Amino acid sequence: MNTDMLVDGWTIYLWLVVGALILVAAAFGIRWAMRNEQFDEDIKYVMFNEDDQERMDPAEYTKSREVLARQIKRREELLKEHKRS
């Protein structure tokens, strides 16, 4: 029996355990992001303000105002929740 093969044979198990831990951490990260509203595609509209109206398509500008109003409302809800706890 070759002892060199036995010495190096345990490293594959180490890699498998580390790989599994990375996958578990990624799953928990994605779960956290979903629960904390991190996958909002409309967030890009929050950066616009009233000064951008003439440079934007009217539909895009209307969408940006709706998104901003929704974000402000959600922020106020979260602040109220935080104060209660």
Alpha-carbon distance of 35 to 32, in angstroms, equals 5
Q: What is the pLDDT of residue 51?
A: 86
Structural domains in the chain (count): 2
Q: In which band, very low, low, confident or very high, does the pLDDT at 32 lie, cut at 50, 70 and 90?
A: very high
Alpha-carbon distance of 64 to 60, in angstroms, equals 6
On whether both 18 and 46 belong to a single domain, the answer is no
On whether both 82 and 44 belong to a single domain, the answer is yes
Indicate whether 24 pLDDT > 60: yes
Q: What is the mean pLDDT of the segment spanning 69-73?
A: 91
Q: Write the single-letter amino acid at 12.
A: I
Indicate whether 5 pLDDT > 70: no
Q: What is the pLDDT of residue 23?
A: 98
The residue segments making up the domain with residue 10 are: 1-39
Per mean pLDDT, which range of 31-40, 42-51, 60-69, 75-84 is the poorest?
42-51
On whether both 74 and 84 belong to a single domain, the answer is yes
